[in-house]
Every structure is written in C-alpha cells, then in structure tokens.
Chain A
Amino acid sequence: MNNQSINLEIGQCAATTYSVPVGPVHPALKEPIRFTFNLDGERIVGVDIKPGFAHRGIEYMGMKRNLIQALYLSERICGICSISHPLAFTQAVENAAGIEVPPRAQYIRTIIGELERIHSHLLWAGVGAHELGFDTLLHLTWNVREKTMDLLEQLTGNRVDYAIPIFSGVRRDIPEEKTHLAYEAIDYYRGLLQQMIDAYLHDKSVELRTRNVGVLTYDQAVEMCAAGPTTRASGVKKDVRQDMPYLAYADMEIEAITPEAFGTEPIGDVYDNIIVRLLEVAQAIDIIEYCLENLPSGELMSIPKVPALLAALKKASGEGIGRHEAPRGEVFHYVRLEEGVEEAVVWKVKAPTYSNLMAWVPKFLGDEIADVPIIAASIDPCMCCMDRVHIADEAGSASVRTKEELVRLSREKTRRICG
C-alpha cells in the first residue's frame, strides 16, 4: 500500500506528498489498526483507516451458542470496557424476552458500570500523558487508577471481566460489609480530583500541545454520528444515560457533560476531550455515592435458577435493543430471539469506537505527523499506540520507524513549543 505522488510547483522546490502507512498495532490492545496518512511535508492532507486486525467474529460465534455462553463471549469483546457489552446485551435480551430485572440488581449493575468508567478514563488520561511525554503524570494517574481496580477486585473478584450481569439480574451482591470499601474509594478520589484537574487542565505545556489539535466541529460530530466523550467534547449533548434512561440512571438526573461545564466554549479538540473525561470521573463518583446510599433491598435475579432461565430464554421470541453509555460512547446490541431456538437468531453488536471511526478523519486533517499519537488517542479507541511506521519516499527507499520514534517525535514537539 505504498502509493506516492509528486507535485511540482513552478518556482518552488519539488513539493512531495508522502504516503505513510502506520500500524497495525500491539496484539495486546483491542483493535490494532492501520492508518495510511498522506503528508505534505509535516502536514496531514489525507488519511485512510483500515481496522479489522482484531476481528474475531464474535457475532458469528455468538449466534452458534446459547445466550449465557454468548454473554461470556460478549464480556471479552473489550477488556477495558468489559461490563459495557454485557450491560447492553442483557438489556437487549431482557427486552426481547420480557424479563424484569429487580431494583437491587439494576443499582449494582450501575455501580460497577460507573467504576468501570472511572478506571477507563484514568487509563486514557495516563496514556494521553505518555504520548505527550509526561511520563510522571502517566505513573501518577495509573497509580490512582489502581484504587479502582482494587475495589473492583474486592467487590467482584476480578480486575476486568467481572461476570456481574446475567439475564434477569446480577450474579453477585454488594453486601453491607463491603460498602465501606466503596466509600473509602469515593473519599480518596474526591480528595484527588482537584489535583488531577490542575495537573491536566491548568498545565501550560498540556494546553499548548492539545489546544486546537485534532478538532472535530459540532456539525462534523453530528454528521459522523460520533458518540461518547468524543462527541460531547464538540458540544453535542448526547448521552444515553440522559437521553433514554435505563437501570438506576432513570432515577437520577444525569446531564451530558460538555466543556461548557468547565466554563469554556467547546472547540472539539484534544483539550476538550480531557475536560469531558475528567469531569465524567467526578460525575461517576457522585453516581456511585447515590447508588450506594439508595441501594434497594431485594433479590438479585428474577429468575435465579439457571436451568429455568435457559428454558425461559428458549421459549422467548421477539426483538430487543439494548443500549449503554460506555466510557467510550454508546454501546448498542440488537438481538432477535425465536421460540424453540436456544441461540440468538440475530445478534448485532456496535461498540463505541465503531461510531467514532469516521470521526477520526476530520480530526487528523490539517495537523502534523507529530500529533498523530495524541489525536489517535483522543477518541479513546481502546488502543492508543501505533507500533510501526513505514515511510517511503519518492526514491523508493524505505525506513522503518518504531513506536518509540513516533512518540519521540511527539515529545520533541512538546519540548519545541514549550521552550
């Protein structure tokens, strides 16, 4: 995929556009991806995106197994937002089959979902800091994130893939003896929040590197059907928890967070993305506190015996849509169930990055190659680094640059403009 074109301008030295393929990415991350950038000097004038390197055929496999097996498969679609898919999938199946979820289970699902939001946004913030060259900030942020991971492990038994939601309820309870752990974590985060905001949003170097970089305008965000913090950073007030409430969110007044909540006009750049995500951490803490204080008593599953559940699902027929506001945006699941058939006849999954793929293109255009790591990371794509850069120039000679070199470019730019 190395196409190059040479543009000669009269009176100038030959201006060359390079085509730079970037990717695919670490197998460790959810979606390795390949970008091909067309550069004019250092400026990006065109970008082509090819995902699919981590495509495992989840829907194909899921339509061949019973719904509970498909649920465990859905958990492993993404490691970082590992409860988001089960939350949407269980809702879709419960809507299709007409199964009620008891109030206590709804609140527990919400609490774990918001804890996931905290750890996901902190992970993103640390990675963003790393791409810009602020490794100290990376380690501080990830250290802070460990508190959430520990809490999740204490409550559910695992740091990721908690296996909490199941059709008609949740599998594990948050007993009285454990709620103090959650309150401790809430106090810990409340104490740290202002420091994090100062470190990221009131730091001149971060501002210089992220203001007006990777801009997505309001109209572009709406046209591209972007979702999550990516679209909210552009001022679009889309948030499934606000627009079409579900679970415990239906009992709360959730407002979509845009940079206006911080007092600034939305531009849709990387800086606005940082604002939205950090403020959402604060919002998540408030939501968790509300849910803990108002946790209803009652049963955990409306159909507690698994054989009875499987039988009820096999008898069910209908179509169901389940949506959840994951840390990265809207997760959407659609299922169609047929009576007498154990498997879902149709299962369609839409992850948030899917919605934000097209939004990447306008973000890259006009910016420099050194900004590629931070712009790519700004939509929080469940993968944030590109590990190989292959550059071909018109002489046909090739040089392979590693992720380290690309990040070095990014950091050199930081040093250059921050003095």
Chain B
Amino acid sequence: MNVENLFASFKSALGNGYLEDRTIEREVGTIEKGTVYDLWIVVERDRLHDAVAHLCAEFNPHLSVISGDDLGDTLALNYHFSVGWGERYGEATVTLRTVLPKSDLSVPTITDVLPGAQTSEREKIEFFGIDVVGIPDDRNVFLPEDMTIHPWRKDLEEETAKEVKRMVKWEGRHE
C-alpha cells in the first residue's frame, strides 16, 4: 500500500478541493508484526463526487458505509471506503470526509458511479435530514415510512425523545 502515491493522485485530481489528509498506522500480529493503514482525506463538498469518481476509476474501492457527525453548526459525512482488497495485507481503509453547513444540508449522490451506495445514502437522509441530490430513491430505508424524526441529529433530540417510549419507570432517573 503506497500511501504517498494514493494521496498524490487525489491531490492532482482535486486540486484545491483537497483540503487535508491524515494517516493512521497500526501494528498487528503477535509473532511477526505487520502494518495496516487507515487513511483520511477531507474534501470540499463540491468536489466529493469527483473524488469518489477518481477513487472508482483508479482504485476499485469497496464502500463499507457512510457515517455522519453532528458538529453543531456543521455536519460532517465520512464515506468509509477500502481499497486494495484481494491480497494479503493489500487493503487500507480510505475515508473521504466532507463537511456540510447546517444552513445547506445537501450533498450530491454517488450512486451513479457506485450503485451499492444507495442504502447508505438513504440512511443518511432519514437519520440526519440531509438532501442527497440526484439519488434515484429517497424513501426511508430503516425507519418506518411514516416516521419523520432524524434520530442522529443532536439539535433535534427533543423531537426524537418524544418518540421514545420507556416501558419501565426508573427511580430517580429522567422522568
């Protein structure tokens, strides 16, 4: 896994859209130590689609899942990919991170380059209330069809709490 080459290829593909990178190296094994890598690249929201297209064209990635981080005024989306599968110690995780302002929670879809991303994008729509522009199907995937709460948003916690049913009264806690 040549980390430098990977970062360099993204830098040249994205130019100013490439904001930051981070490498986490971990040692594994108890007899002979091996190294595995978790790589992070922060990209501008408008270049996210290009970044994923570049990843798909050059690196044959696997998308694990998209996770989200409610940071108050902004919402960060982490696209957890992994590249290099197929040979021993060949794989590293590559997470593309982009930050959305709460005033404009929209992000372009990546399902045109990677159809398998649909489930994860739909999950972000329902759990964070974002808009994924261009997604072919934006229905709720895990939440019931009629549910309108966004459980992972910290600022909408009050609304979500209304849907929580406690079956047993606890002494001295919450209610």
Pairwise interchain contact B85-A238, C-beta atoms closer than 8 A: yes
For chain B, which range describes its interface: under 10, 10 to 19, 20 to 34, or 35 or more residues? 35 or more
Contact of B26 among A95, A222, A332 (CB under 8 A): A95
The residues of A that contact B119 with a CB separation of less than 8 Å are: 354, 357-358
A55 within 8 A of B: yes
Chain A 317-361 interface 0/1 with B at a Cβ cutoff of 8 Å (1 = within): 000010100000010101010000000011010100011011100
Contacts of A51 in B (CB 8 A): 141-142
Nearest to B84 among chain A residues (CB) is A243
Which B residues lie within 8 Å of A250 (CB)?
28-30, 34
Partner pick for B117 among A225, A238, A242, CB 8 A cutoff: A225
Residues of B within 8 A of A358 (CB): 115-116, 118-119
Q: Does B31 contact A (CB under 8 A)?
A: yes
Q: Which of B84-100 contact A (CB under 8 A)?
A: 84-93, 95
Cβ of A223 under 8 Å from chain B: yes
| Complex Cα–Cα for A50 and B142 (A) | 8
Q: Give the CA-CA distance A243 to B145 in the complex, in Å.
A: 38
The answer, yes or no, to whether A175 is at the interface (CB within 8 Å) is: no
Contact A244–B93 (Cβ < 8 Å): yes
A57 to B152 alpha-carbon distance, docked (Å): 10
Instruction: Answer yes or no: A304 CB below 8 A from chain B CBs.
Output: no
**Quick check: which of B9-17, B46-54, B56-64, B101-109 contacts chain A, the rest being far away?**
B56-64
Would A52 and B69 count as touching, CB distance under 8 A?
Answer: no
Q: Contact between B82 and A244 (Cβ–Cβ < 8 Å)?
A: yes
A244 touches B36 (CB 8 A): yes
Tell me the nearest residue of chain A to B36, going by C-beta. A244
Is A40 part of the binding interface, using a Cβ–Cβ cutoff of 8 Å?
Answer: no
Cβ-based interface call for B32 (8 A): yes
B-contact 0/1 string along A355-384, CB 8 Å cutoff: 101110000000000000000000000000
Which residues of A lie under 8 Å from residue B65 when comparing CB positions?
Answer: 332, 334, 348, 350, 354
Q: By the criterion of a CB under 8 Å from any partner CB, how many residues of chain A are at the interface?
A: 49
Determine if A321 and B93 form an interchain contact, defined as CB atoms under 8 angstroms apart: yes
* B1 nearest CB neighbor, chain A only: A244
B24 nearest CB across to chain A (Å) = 8
The answer to whether A238 touches B38, judged by C-beta atoms less than 8 angstroms apart, is no
| Contact between chains at A103 and B89 (CB < 8 Å) | no
Q: A222-B60, A238-B62 are contacts. A251–B85 as well, Cβ < 8 Å?
A: no
Q: Does A237 contact B (CB under 8 A)?
A: yes
How many Å lie between the Cα of A50 and that of B126 in the bound state? 14
The residue from B63, B92, B151 contacting A60, defined by CB atoms under 8 A apart = B151
Q: Which residues in A have some Cβ–Cβ distance to B below 8 Å?
A: 50-52, 55, 57, 59-60, 95, 103, 106-107, 222-227, 237-238, 240, 242-248, 250-251, 253-256, 296, 321, 323, 330, 332, 334, 336, 345-346, 348, 350, 354-355, 357-359
Please list the 3 inter-chain residue pairs (A to B) with the smallest Cβ-Cβ separation, ordered nearest first.
A225-B116, A243-B91, A348-B67
Given contacts A222-B62, A354-B65, 17 further A-B contacts (CB under 8 A): A52-B141, A103-B30, A107-B30, A223-B114, A223-B116, A238-B86, A242-B88, A243-B89, A245-B28, A245-B89, A251-B30, A251-B31, A332-B64, A332-B65, A332-B80, A350-B80, A355-B64
Enumerate 14 A-B pairs (CB-CB under 8 Å) in ascending A order.
A51-B141, A60-B160, A95-B26, A223-B116, A224-B115, A225-B117, A240-B91, A246-B36, A255-B88, A345-B69, A348-B68, A354-B119, A357-B119, A358-B118
